[in-house]
Every structure is written in C-alpha cells, then in structure tokens.
C-alpha cells in the first residue's frame, strides 16, 4: 500500500512538470450605466496570423498524461476555428457587458441584413499567440479505478490583437491587445475547441473592459489622432517630406468644352483616347481632364503611392505621374503627368455635372482584367438607378447605378453618356455573398456603381470649366483628405 501511494504521488509530481501555459484572468467588468447608448458594433472576423508550421504546445497521453506526445502544430488550432461559433462567443461576451452588437444571433437572415446597417464600428481580431498544454485520452484505458472520457483536457492561452474599424473614416481608429486563458479538467471529444472558445471569450471580455475601448464605444470619446492610424501618420509625413515636382495644392481648371450632342459613332474614338491605364504593381484606369496632363482616377487605383505610371491609349506612351491629392472616403484621386512627351496629343471630353436619367444609355471605358490585351475596352449599358446616401462599401455615399459590364481593372475609368460626355467614374461591381452577409467585389456582375463626376471634382478641389482661382488666396488651406 505504501509503495502504491509513493507511485501515485510520483506520477502526480511528474504530471505537474508538463509544459507551462501563461495564466491570465478576467479584467474587472466596466459598469455600464442604465442610460448608456453605446455605438452599435459589428463583428468582422478572426484572422490566424501564426506562421505556418509553428508549434503552439504539446499533447500528452498515457497514465495520468505522463507520456509526452508530438508537438501541437498551428494546424490543430486552424482546424477548430469555426467562424459562426467565434462570432457567437464575441456576441455573448460583448452583450454580457452591455454593448450593442448588430446582427443579433436571434435574428432571422432578413432582419440581420437590415440590422447590420446600424453598425458604426467593425471589430476585427488577429490571433497572435496560442499556448496549449493538452492531455489526450482514447477513452479505453483504466487508470487504477478511473477511466477518463475520450477527448482532450488541459490549459490554453491566447493573445488577440483587436482593431476597431471606422467605415466612414476608412481606417482603424483604435488598436489593442488582450489575453485569454482557460483550464478544463474533464476530457471531451471537442475539448481543444472548447478550450479555445473559453480563452477567446475571456479575451473578448477583456476588450469590453478596456477603458479606452469603453470610452470610444460608450462615451464617444475619440482617441488621440482619431481616424488616423500610425501607419497613415507615417504615410502623411512621407507625403509632406518627400520631394515633389508639383505643388499638390495647385489650381486645376477644366477646359471650357460645350456638352457634346454627337451620336456614339462620332465620339467613340475620342473617348478611348481620353482614357488611360494607371499601372504600378497592379493596374486600374483613369482619364485626362486637362491639357496639362491632369488625370482623374480612384484612390484604390493608386493607393498610398506618391508616383505611379500612366499608359496612354493603345499603349503608345508610358509616363510617370505624380499623385497630387486624394480623398479616400470618396475614393477619388488626382494625378498629373510628370512630363508631356513630344507626340502625345491629350484628349479631354466634356464634363456633364447633371445626373443622367434612369434608363439613359451609358458607356464605360477601362482596362479590365488583363492589362496587356484589354486596354481601351468600351462597354455599354443603361442607368439602372440613382443611389443617394447609399451604403455600398460601408460608407453612405451617392452613386450612379448601371448595368454596363465592368471588371476589376476598370475602376477609375470614365463613365460616359450616349453623347460622350463624362458623367462619372467607375467605382466597382459588388454582390452580397452568403458568408456572413459581407459585401464582396465580383467581376462582371450587372450591379455596378459609379461616382458622380461633379462630386469627385468637388472633393479634389478642382475648379469648374473656365473658372479662374481668385488672386487673393484665403487664409484657410485646401484640405487634402486622406
């Protein structure tokens, strides 16, 4: 009996010497006032950013889990992450702390689609670290008088990086890291998944208890440099400090051109000559608006670049261009050729500020999909609808909706009426997928959206045709919205 006791204590001691897992605890819950009206928040996704092949812990088995097994790989965690249950854990933890989470799990699909429009912020999580000490049982072995259930038990720790996204500012307005931990003493056939969700739920609770997160969502107290991420601040500093060829605030006056009344066959070739391809590592489209080499395109076509390359019609000229100014929220950008080579005749088209009527014929020009073979592509459709104050990509904006076929790579290209007057800029096609109701881009669908050209000009501080900038400059500088 004495020997059995010594053996038992030895096994317990050996078991206690297994891999260590970092232990953390729940942060004290915030006190949500009864009259609080927290901003509605939306769950986005959990991204696994652990390197492929990395170890996250070790599994053990045998009598009292004293036999060391193989290292536990990252793939074991990837396999147990099911988006809908992660979303449920997030909802449960946030709502338990009094937060307003849209797309409630008790809503039917149609109600959830409407509810998501209330969200003012979207929350995204990145899994940065996992530590697991797991005991695995086959459920067949007896240990003395004890037979454990089949499955896993043990300890698990997670570190989550959180990002609060503002769809209006189109940037992350707050970032932080929280941790979670759990210990399960009973085996379960889905024990590893249960441990992960327990730890994730604690990490979510600790986000809900974070004072700055609480102040942002509940009190509306914006963090310092609200709407400007550290990366964006570095980019803005880079924009301000790097040498430029042009003044980014220079006046841009459109040429005086009467609206065209010519039928399609008369202007089609001029329309193709006015369009350009915006190319760097990827490509988009654009079009000339001045004889001085000014070009309109989308922000998505240039990103945060200061310089890009312009390829003219029929790929005759490839010229560097400087990005003068952008407006990220309206998704527009103004470029200027660094030089106008001999032999380049810049073609501009009349600009029609008035919205086209529903049912009018429209034409889009761009470089869809394959930049080598499909530049200067012209497609035809009609105006399907006017979308005023419409949320397309998370921000309420005005759009011209049309069924003219466009594809990725056409964004930034001109939208023309039936007489060849510019009425808009191609934004992109979209659809609502079956995965969590997220809006996704897709090539070539009949739901395509265009930025009204007069809004693009206003956002980029471009003067109307023929208007001259006043000699006495205002004391208030032009704001280059980024």
Which of 434, 429, 402, 431 lies closest to 415, judged by CA? 402
pLDDT of residue 94 exceeding 90:
yes
% of residues, the chain, pLDDT over 90: 38
Higher-pLDDT residue of 378 and 46 is 46
What is the pLDDT, as a whole number, of residue 226?
A: 56
pLDDT of residue 62: 66
CB distance 333 to 298 below 8 Å: yes
Q: What pLDDT, on a 0 to 100 scale, did the predictor assign at position 450?
A: 92
Residue 247 burial by Cβ neighbours in a 10 Å radius (0-12, 13-18, 19+): exposed
Tens of pLDDT, residues 110-141: 555 667 778 889 999 999 999 999 988 876 66
Tokens 């006032």 belong to 33
Q: For position 441, what pLDDT does the model report?
A: 44
Looking at residues 298-322, what average pLDDT do you find?
87
Stated pTM of the model: 0.56
Q: How confident is the model at residue 13 (pLDDT cuts 50, 70, 90)?
A: very low
What are the tens digits of pLDDT across the range 25-51? 999 998 899 889 999 999 999 999 988
Show the tokens assigned to 221: 């107290």
Other CB atoms within 10 A of residue 86 CB = 20
- What are the pLDDT digits (tens) for 230-273? 666 666 666 666 778 888 889 888 888 899 888 877 788 888 88
- Domains, in order of start, for the chain: 17-228 (3.40.50), 255-459 (2.40.10.120)
Q: Give pLDDT, residue 397.
A: 86
240 or 413: whose pLDDT is higher?
413
What is the pLDDT confidence band of residue 466, given thresholds at 50, 70 and 90? low
pLDDT band at residue 478 using 50, 70 and 90 as cut-offs = very low
pLDDT band at 424, cuts 50/70/90? very high
Give the lowest-confidence range in 263-272, 285-294, 355-364, 460-469. Answer: 460-469
Q: Is the pLDDT of residue 437 over 50?
A: no
Residue 237 CA to residue 230 CA, distance in Å, equals: 11
Instruction: Output 197-200 pairs: Cβ under 8 A, ≥24 positions apart.
Output: 197/85, 197/86, 197/89, 198/156, 199/156, 199/157, 199/158, 200/46, 200/86, 200/89, 200/90, 200/158, 200/160
Residue 16 has pLDDT above 50, yes or no: no
Please give the pLDDT value at position 432.
43
* DSSP per residue, 279-313: ESSSEEEEEE-STT-EEEE-HHHHTT-SEEEEE-G
Polymer length in residues for the chain: 482
Mean pLDDT value across residues 438-455: 70
Please tell me whether residue 397 adopts helix, strand or coil conformation: strand
Report for 59-73, 209-223, 427-441: range of highest mean pLDDT: 209-223
The pLDDT value recorded for residue 239 is: 61
Let me know: does 423 contact 383? Beta carbons within 8 Å.
Answer: no
Identify the DSSP state of 477: P
Please give the average per-residue pLDDT across 203-208, as a whole number: 97
Helices 83-96 + 191-208 axis angle, to 10 = 40
How large a percentage of the chain has pLDDT more than 70?
A: 76
341 pLDDT more than 80: yes
pLDDT at 15 over 90: no
Query: What pLDDT was estimated at residue 4?
Result: 47
Contact indicator for 361, 369 with CB cutoff of 8 Å:
no
């Amino acid at each position: 009996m004495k020997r059995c006791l010594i053996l038992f204590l030895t096994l317990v001691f050996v078991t206690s010497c297994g891999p260590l897992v970092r232990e953390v605890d729940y942060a004290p819950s915030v006190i949500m006032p009864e009259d609080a009206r927290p901003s509605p928040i939306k769950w986005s996704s959990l991204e696994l950013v652990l390197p492929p092949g990395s170890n996250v812990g070790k599994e053990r088995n045998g009598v009292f889990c004293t036999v060391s097994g193989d290292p536990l790989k990252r793939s074991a965690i990837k396999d147990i992450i099911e988006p809908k249950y992660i979303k449920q854990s997030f909802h449960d933890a946030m709502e338990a702390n009094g937060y307003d989470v849209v797309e409630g799990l008790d809503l039917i699909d149609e109600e959830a689609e409407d509810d998501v429009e209330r969200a003012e912020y979207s929350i995204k999580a990145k899994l940065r670290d996992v530590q697991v000490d797991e005991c695995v049982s086959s459920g067949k072995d007896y240990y003395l008088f004890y037979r454990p259930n089949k499955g896993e038990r043990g300890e698990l720790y997670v570190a989550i990086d959180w990002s609060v996204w503002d769809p209006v500012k189109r940037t992350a307005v707050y970032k932080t890291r929280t941790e979670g931990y759990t210990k399960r003493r009973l085996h379960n056939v889905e024990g590893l998944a249960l441990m992960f969700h327990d730890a994730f739920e604690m990490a979510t609770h600790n986000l809900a208890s974070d004072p700055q997160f609480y102040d942002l969502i509940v009190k509306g107290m914006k963090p310092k440099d609200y709407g400007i991420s550290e990366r964006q601040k570095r980019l803005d500093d880079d924009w301000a400090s790097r040498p430029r060829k042009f003044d980014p605030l220079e006046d841009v006056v459109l040429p005086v051109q009467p609206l065209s009344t010519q039928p399609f066959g008369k202007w089609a070739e001029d329309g193709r000559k006015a369009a350009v391809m915006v190319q760097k590592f990827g490509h988009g489209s654009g079009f000339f608006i001045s004889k001085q080499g000014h070009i309109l395109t989308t922000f998505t076509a240039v990103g945060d670049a200061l310089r890009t390359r312009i390829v003219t019609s029929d790929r005759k000229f490839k010229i560097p261009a400087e990005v003068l100014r952008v407006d990220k929220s309206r998704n527009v950008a103004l470029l200027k050729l660094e030089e106008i080579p001999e032999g380049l005749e810049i073609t501009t088209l009349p600009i029609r500020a008035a919205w086209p009527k529903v049912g009018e014929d429209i034409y889009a020009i761009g470089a869809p999909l394959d930049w080598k073979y499909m530049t200067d592509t012209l497609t035809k459709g009609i105006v399907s609808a006017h979308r005023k104050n419409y949320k397309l990509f998370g921000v309420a904006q005005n759009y011209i909706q049309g069924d003219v076929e466009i594809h990725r790579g056409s964004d930034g290209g001109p939208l023309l009426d039936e007489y060849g007057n510019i009425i808009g800029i191609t934004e992109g096609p979209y659809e609502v997928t079956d995965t969590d109701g997220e809006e996704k881009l897709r090539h070539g669908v009949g739901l395509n959206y265009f930025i009204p050209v007069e809004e693009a000009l206003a956002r980029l501080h471009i003067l109307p045709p023929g208007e001259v900038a006043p000699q006495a400059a205002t004391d208030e500088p032009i704001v280059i919205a980024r």
